[in-house]
Amino acid sequence: MSENNGMFGASGSGDTSGFGGLARSAANFGSSERPYGSYFDEITDELERAYPEFNSAIEKVVIDRGELTLHVKREKLFDTAMKLRDTQSLRFEVCLGVSGVHYPEDKTRELHAVYPLLSMTHNRRIRLEVSAPDSDPHIPSLVEVWAGNNWHERETWDMFGIIFDGHPGLTRILMPDDWPGHPQRKDYPLGGIPIEYKGATVPAPSERRSYR
Amino acid sequence: MTTHDSYASATDTTEGRVYSVTGGDWDSLVTEIGQTKEERVVVNMGPQHPSTHGVLRLVLELEGETITEARAGIGYLHTGIEKNTEYRTWTQGVTFVTRMDYLAPIFNETAYCLSLEKLLGITNDIPERASEIRVLMMELNRISSHMVALGTGALELGALSPMIFAFREREKVLDVFEMISGLRMNMAYVRPGGVAQDLPKGAIAKIRETVKELRHNFKDNEKLLVGNSIWMLRTKGIGYLDLAGCTTLGITGPVLRSAGMPWDLRKTEPYCGYENYEFDVITTNTCDVYGRFLIRMQELEQSLRIIEQACDKLEKSEGQPVMVADKKIAWPSQLSVGSDGMGNSLEHIREIMGTSMESLIHHFKLVTEGFRVPAGQAYAAVESPRGETGVHLVSDGGTRPYRVHFREPSFNNLQATSAMAEGGMIADVIGAVASIDPVMGGVDR
């Protein structure tokens, strides 16, 4: 997604160390190849059987660090979630909330919502990941599937500005009701700390020189 | 009202007549309210209220004394910890996350580190002694947290003495924390790759003695409450939430176990070597406040059992490393506890300042720049005193987290307030909230 050049973060300095030629790009996870290993093959097989639209709903299946992530198209999120919850052989009866992630460089897929799911019946875990563009930040709500997602979706709206369509009362939850902006987005402006020393100010954390 | 109070007088608003109550003569207020025709009364409890476990606001709609609608308002303790960690190194993140659920700091740290170690791919390289110390610290922390839950829970329902006993025991556990990490809470003791330092001399002996005392003293609290008829009247059948309610609301921890489900991550998905310890998962099938109270009481004994086993293991692993062997990840120095808390060990300072330039460079690079974590995401969870504390980490390959998200059990479980309180009496909402045991630092983060 992103590419780092030079000494990874130090820019504009007279770099004489020879590291200037280095370039490193962050890993972009493509779909994993079968066999996935562990119980992941079984889960995808069962979901494919239970959900005829599997191929059009699931964008990619990623196995990384012993965890299965299903990237779902947002239009199909609700149906997929229902199948995952109600199919006897899957039974993901608990959703452990929503975690929003903002990737400003991932054009047309800037906002991601990540749902860790747990099946107590089978003692298995998977993760759903959905994305939406910044220009149209809508993702269907899953409160009807798992009532406990209510506050988590409110938090993700509050922090990232993702609008969960169908949520019974999508209001801010942690920030005050009249707060402008969504603080955990990467483009949210951070304030510097004004200090009294010859009119100088400390730059905002996001603008300080740093290693990346 | 008979007396005028400039801070608490009645005012007319578009919503109806508003009465502010800050104490005083209750009868005169009741008489005054009784004159209005409206039967529906909305009571705003908090955000500062002695029985709401911190700055929690409850909006209760009443008909008589029955609650028809209960809503929780949160966010008063939001500190932006998740965002803050994005501008610090991965190691510094520990210092932030320990402050989320301030009654269970070790659990926050461990969950964060387990998730980070998964991202780094070093889960299997963590030394056994480090895992043993983590288990020891977590179980001690479970006791200190449950002591607050039981003590304040009882206090809120009007029983004062259990609180005094509970906090007495909690102090003993905090003393052990202080001896080991230099700090009584927010220790930042569990670090990526292991723990900050080995146990000091004499720690095991002190812990063994503390365990003996605690086991004896827990009986005091038990005698005060278990079977106490007033306590049982206030807690039995109160705050009912069954298994179906728990699963759809994503409830974990003692509340889920009070619905009869033996779900405990220490058993179902063991981490830190919990599979090598003998203990029982406590359940009841009453789905009520009393059941949750009994579960916490009995979990104390299970924690003591685990601590004893951890002590046995730690005696055998004496002298083994407590930090991962990979020098590119491990914190360069073992720290030591001084009179003002945890700091660099003098021996280490002598080495980097006096003898080895390479050590100094290594120390400087790792401390200021930190280590890089391969890009990707991971989720790891531990069984905290309140349920599943899950950590979702995203790395972009840099020395700082791209995203840190805590799935806080307090935040999630507090949603059950409405389900537990609606249809019940106003006095019982206190017991219901206390049985969830929310810690607002964790709820608001």
Cα separation, B93 vs B106, whole angstroms = 13
Among the partner-chain residues B74, B248, B374, the one whose CB lies closest to the CB of A146 is: B248
Side-chain half-sphere of A78: how many Cα atoms within 13 Å? 12
* Percent of chain B residues topping a pLDDT of 90: 42
B262 touches chain A (CB under 8 A): no
Q: How confident is the model over B45-67, as a mean pLDDT?
A: 77
CB crowding B71-90: b at 16 or more within 10 Å, else e: ebebbbbbeebbbbbbebbb
B445 touches chain A (CB under 8 A): yes
**Alpha helices for B68-160 (secondary structure H):** 81-85, 90-97, 105-120, 128-156
B398 touches chain A (CB under 8 A): yes
The CA-based angle B317-B121-A95, given to 5 degrees, is 105
Beta-carbon pairs below 8 A across chains A and B: 115
Closest chain B CA to residue A119: B247
Cα separation, A178 vs B126, whole angstroms = 46
Amino acid at B445: R
DSSP A35: P
- How many angstroms separate the first and last alpha carbons of chain B? 40
Among the partner-chain residues A27, A101, A210, the one whose CB lies closest to the CB of B394 is: A101
* Percent of chain A residues topping a pLDDT of 90: 45
Q: What is the pLDDT of residues A107-141, one digit of tens each?
A: 888 999 999 999 999 999 999 999 999 999 999 99
- Angle, helix B90-97 to helix B105-120, in steps of 10 degrees: 160
The C-alpha of A56 sits at a distance from chain B's nearest C-alpha, in angstroms, of 24
Cα separation, B182 vs B202, whole angstroms = 14
Q: What is the pLDDT of residues B296-324, one digit of tens each?
A: 999 999 999 999 999 999 999 988 899 98
Which residue matches tokens 């947290």?
Answer: B145
Closest chain B CA to residue A204: B87
Report whether pLDDT(B83) > 60: yes
Side-chain half-sphere of B72: how many Cα atoms within 13 Å? 33
Cα separation, A50 vs A56, whole angstroms = 14
Cα separation, B396 vs A11, whole angstroms = 18
Nearest-CA neighbor of B239 among B11, B425, B410, B394?
B425
Nearest-CA neighbor of A114 among B88, B297, B394?
B394
Determine, for residues B400 and A212 on separate chains, whether the beta-carbon distance falls below 8 Å: yes
The C-alpha of A50 sits at a distance from chain B's nearest C-alpha, in angstroms, of 21
Determine, for residues A93 and B376 on separate chains, whether the beta-carbon distance falls below 8 Å: no
B318 touches chain A (CB under 8 A): no
Query: Mutate which of A92, A94, A159 to test chain B, going by most B C-beta atoms within 10 A?
Result: A94
The residues, ordered by sequence, that sit 6+ positions from B341 with a Cβ below 8 Å of its Cβ are B182, B183
Residue A179 and residue A124 in contact, taking contact as beta carbons nearer than 8 Å? no
A120 touches chain B (CB under 8 A): yes
Report whether pLDDT(B22) > 70: no
- Chain B residues in contact with A100 by the CB 8 A cut-off are 405
Q: How confident is the model over A80-97, as a mean pLDDT?
A: 91
pTM of the model: 0.88
- Chain B residues in contact with A206 by the CB 8 A cut-off are 87
Report whether pLDDT(A29) > 90: no
Cα separation, B378 vs B365, whole angstroms = 26
The C-alpha of B188 sits at a distance from chain A's nearest C-alpha, in angstroms, of 22
Determine, for residues A211 and B251 on separate chains, whether the beta-carbon distance falls below 8 Å: no
Which two tokens mark A147?
């009532």
Q: How confident is the model over B270-287, as a mean pLDDT?
A: 92
Q: What is the pLDDT of residues B368-426, one digit of tens each?
A: 888 888 888 999 999 999 999 999 999 988 888 999 999 999 999 999 999 998 888 88
Task: State residue A101's pLDDT score.
Answer: 93
CA torsion through residues B263, B264, B266, B271, sign: positive
The ipTM estimated for the assembled molecules is: 0.86
- How many angstroms separate the first and last alpha carbons of chain A? 15
Query: Mutate which of A98, A151, A172 to test chain B, going by most B C-beta atoms within 10 A?
Result: A151
Q: Please report the residues numbered 72 through 101 in chain B whose beta carbons come closer than 8 angstroms to any beta carbon of chain A.
A: 74-75, 78, 80, 82-83, 87
Nearest-CA neighbor of B106 among B19, B8, B176?
B176
Cα separation, B32 vs B62, whole angstroms = 17
**Cis status, amide bond into B401, omega within 30 of 0:** no
Closest chain A CA to residue B405: A99
Residue B418: its H or E element: helix B416-421
pLDDT band at A30 (very low <50, low <70, confident <90, very high): confident
Determine, for residues B415 and A150 on separate chains, whether the beta-carbon distance falls below 8 Å: yes
Q: What is the pLDDT of residues B143-184, one digit of tens each?
A: 999 999 988 888 888 888 888 888 999 999 999 999 898 888
Question: What is the per-residue DSSP string for A86-116?
Answer: H-TTT---EE---EEEE-TTSTT--EEEEEE
